[in-house]
Amino acid sequence: MSAEIIDGKAFAAGLRERVGTHAGDFEAKAGRKAGLAVVLVGEDPASQVYVRSKGKQTVAAGMASFEHKLPADTSQSDLIAMVEQLNADPGVDGILVQLPLPDHLDEHTVISTISPDKDVDGFHVINAGRLAVGQSGFVPCTPLGCMMLLADRMGDLSGKDAVVIGRSNIVGKPMAQLLLDANATVTIAHSRTKDLPEVVRRADIVVAAVGRAEMVKAEWLKPGAVVIDVGINRLPPADGEDKGKLVGDVDFGGASEVAGAITPVPGGVGPMTIAVLLRNSLVAAYRNEGLDVPVDL
């Protein structure tokens, strides 16, 4: 048996295309482009790459990109003032403060300053609460992207047994809530879970989001399970390599022989994250203008 590869790259391209179409419709109705503002504090190389990519894809989707780059020694009060300025700007529909922030800044305070209706990352405690009680809000991009891939592959998830490995506020907890909302039976597993392989083995759906390279082995999986691998880990370089290869939290080679379908790393969940960010930003724009959100977003 060889698992079907879930092509997140292709799905994300389709989502970005739909966002582009609806961004044009929004501009025609609202008389302005939907706008996403990204705030980057400091010179973290990975964050700079992410912000550049987000900016390019925002513009490519027909939306306005506002980048605010602040020095690493920016004070908490100055960063809060920047966020409040963006909250008040009617041309900005989504606000994203790139994490991690320098150590002297309090991420929780900064995120809680973002208007929940512009919090397109879905990290604000009000949006977490909305998700928990089934109200409409913004959901973190990675778990929402995972749900889109699962729904596309499996259709109705009602009654499916799902295990989420990892309990972070960014992926694990919202992922579990989305699966619950889809009427799956959900277990959140983590580092303290007893007999983790046995817990995973009963699952129809496995979402791995622990940040440990190739931790989930083939023998942990139920034959035919659908595996969503959120992890991105770089292995130590082999002889003659400048840098090690990227792998997920699942042993892809072995798991592919047991699972029914699986996301690769790279090319699985990763491309979905920015595509969903663009989707969330455009949804925010429609809501901010009091317009009906297109059903295929």
Decide if 89 is catalytic: no
Spell out the domains of the chain, with CATH numbers in brackets.
29-115 (3.40.50.10860), 141-271 (3.40.50.720)
Instruction: Check 33, 54, 118, 160 and give the catalytic one.
Output: 54
Question: Can you count the helices (H) and strands (E) in the chain?
Answer: 10, 11
Stretch 179-207: mean pLDDT, rounded? 97
pLDDT at site 1: 61
Report residue 240's pLDDT band, with 50, 70 and 90 as the boundaries. confident
Q: For residue 123, which of 98, 157, 88 has the smallest C-alpha distance? A: 98
Instruction: Check 33, 57, 93, 98 and give the catalytic one.
Output: 98
pLDDT at site 239: 79
Q: For residue 72, which of 34, 37, 103 has the smallest C-alpha distance? A: 103
Q: For 135-144, write each residue's pLDDT tens digit.
A: 999 999 999 9
Distance of CA 274 to the CA centre of its chain: 7
Instruction: Check 93, 117, 121, 204 and give the catalytic one.
Output: 121
Q: Is the pLDDT of residue 9 over 80?
A: yes
Q: For 251-264, write each residue's pLDDT tens digit.
A: 999 999 999 999 99
Stretch 272-293: mean pLDDT, rounded? 97
Stretch 99-125: mean pLDDT, rounded? 97
Decide if 177 is catalytic: no
Continuous segment of H or E residues that includes residue 96: strand 94-97
- 3-class DSSP assignment, residue 60: helix
- Cα separation of 142 and 111, whole Å? 17
Decide if 135 is catalytic: no
Greater pLDDT, 83 or 45: 83
Q: For 33-82, write each residue's pLDDT tens digit.
A: 999 999 999 999 989 999 999 999 999 999 999 999 999 999 999 999 99
Stretch 1-28: mean pLDDT, rounded? 96
- Cα separation of 102 and 90, whole Å? 28
Question: How confident is the prediction for the chain on average, in pLDDT?
Answer: 96
Q: Is the pLDDT of residue 88 over 70?
A: yes
Q: For 151-191, write each residue's pLDDT tens digit.
A: 999 999 999 999 999 999 999 999 999 999 999 999 999 98
Angle at 96 between CA 95 and CA 102, to 5 degrees: 135
Q: Is the pLDDT of residue 279 over 70?
A: yes
Q: Which bin fits 238, alpha (ψ -120 to 50), beta or left (φ > 0)?
A: beta
- Cα separation of 263 and 256, whole Å? 10
